[in-house]
């Protein structure tokens, strides 16, 4: 027998969440304003060399002036990021699930994971150039490598830690094999998987822009590199700001999706 939650309780819960979100938004905006004020004060005071730190107005003017070029560069960055994240997510979830459900595979892969996970993707650029050449393939390969590990590790931990009571309940209902996997194991592990993907989102964007910056393969990284080489500091900072904004936006969008798709992820949270 199920007990319905009173409508008034639902309204109170919704109001509480709305107030909490509104408070978080206000604090976020306040933090941005404070950062811009500090930036302007540093620029005006001379505490930082003006040749190294353009003022906020000149940076935002450069952003508007170079909007077309920045948009094109951003598209190139997002293309590599999206493809790399898709590959990493599919591989991380599939391999993480297989390894997490097999004690033998889990034990056998432990040493490999500990060796490969700390490797910085940028250190692999010479090998990537030899294998894929300069271009999108190289960037995608390095992004996939970097983003794979947090997704794989969290998925492996998630499916390995599924409560035995869930498995027993599923088996009692006649679920087995793939049906048990998709209806019990993966939903139970989904919060940890989502956490791994959230970490990978930021890592993948950092690696994408870094590879573009070092390898000159296009995108925001190359835009920033060319601006720095031309001593166009306002344009350089404009590219950096766009990269930071996109990183924030991708995380916000992903977490909003997760909150809708996995409502049980936050059921235990105290507001």
Residue 100 has pLDDT above 80, yes or no: yes
Q: Are 242 and 133 part of one and the same domain?
A: yes
Q: Are 9 and 84 part of one and the same domain?
A: no
Tell me the pLDDT tens digit for each residue of 121-130: 888 888 888 8
Domain ranges, residue 229: 56-266
Do residues 227 and 62 touch, judged by C-beta distance below 8 A?
Answer: no
Domain membership of residue 271 (yes or no) is no
Tell me the pLDDT tens digit for each residue of 49-75: 777 788 888 889 999 999 999 999 999
Q: Are 152 and 48 part of one and the same domain?
A: no
Single residue among 38, 53, 68 that ends a domain in this structure: 53
Q: Are 12 and 138 part of one and the same domain?
A: no
Split into its structural domains, the chain has a count of 2
Tell me the pLDDT tens digit for each residue of 186-224: 888 889 999 999 999 999 999 999 999 988 788 999 999
Give the chain's end-to-end CA distance (angstroms, integer).
27
- Torsion sign (Cα): 112, 117, 265, 178: negative
Domain membership of residue 21 (yes or no) is yes
Residue 112: CB atoms within 10 A of its CB come to 9
Q: Are 213 and 152 part of one and the same domain?
A: yes
Do residues 237 and 54 touch, judged by C-beta distance below 8 A?
Answer: yes
Q: Are 84 and 125 part of one and the same domain?
A: yes
CA–CA distance, 235 with 73 (Å, rounded to integer): 13
CA-nearest of 71, 76, 83, 88 to 198 is 88
Tell me the pLDDT tens digit for each residue of 129-144: 888 888 889 999 999 9
Question: 170 CB contacts (<8 Å, ≥6 apart)?
Answer: 180, 183, 184
* DSSP output for 145-197: HHHHHHHHHHHHHHHHT--HHHHHHHHHTT--THHHIIIIIHHHHHHHHHHHH
């Amino acid at each position: 027998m199920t007990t319905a939650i009173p409508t008034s309780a639902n309204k109170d819960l919704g109001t509480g969440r709305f107030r909490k979100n509104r408070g978080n938004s206000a604090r976020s905006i306040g933090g941005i304003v404070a950062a811009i004020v500090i930036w302007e004060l540093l620029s005006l005071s001379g505490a930082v060399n003006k040749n190294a730190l353009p003022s906020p107005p000149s940076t935002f003017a450069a952003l508007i002036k170079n909007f077309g070029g920045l948009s094109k560069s951003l598209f190139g960055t997002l293309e590599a990021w999206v493809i790399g994240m898709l590959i990493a997510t599919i591989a991380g979830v599939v391999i993480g699930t297989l390894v997490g459900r097999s004690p033998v595979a889990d034990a056998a892969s432990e040493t490999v994971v500990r060796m490969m996970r700390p490797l910085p993707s940028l250190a692999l650029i010479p090998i990537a150039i030899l294998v894929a050449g300069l271009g999108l393939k190289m960037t995608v390969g390095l992004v996939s490598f970097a983003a794979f590990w947090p997704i794989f590790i969290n998925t492996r931990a998630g499916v390995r830690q599924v409560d035995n009571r869930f498995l027993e309940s599923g088996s009692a209902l006649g679920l087995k094999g793939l049906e048990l996997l998709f209806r019990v194991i993966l939903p139970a592990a989904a919060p940890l998987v989502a956490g791994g993907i959230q970490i990978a989102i930021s890592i993948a964007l950092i690696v994408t822009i870094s590879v573009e910056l070092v390898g000159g393969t296009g995108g925001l990284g190359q835009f920033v590199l060319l601006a720095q080489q031309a001593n166009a500091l306002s344009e350089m900072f404009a590219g950096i700001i766009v990269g930071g904004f996109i990183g924030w936006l991708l995380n916000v969008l992903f977490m909003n999706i997760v909150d809708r798709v996995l409502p049980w992820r936050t059921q235990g949270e105290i507001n």
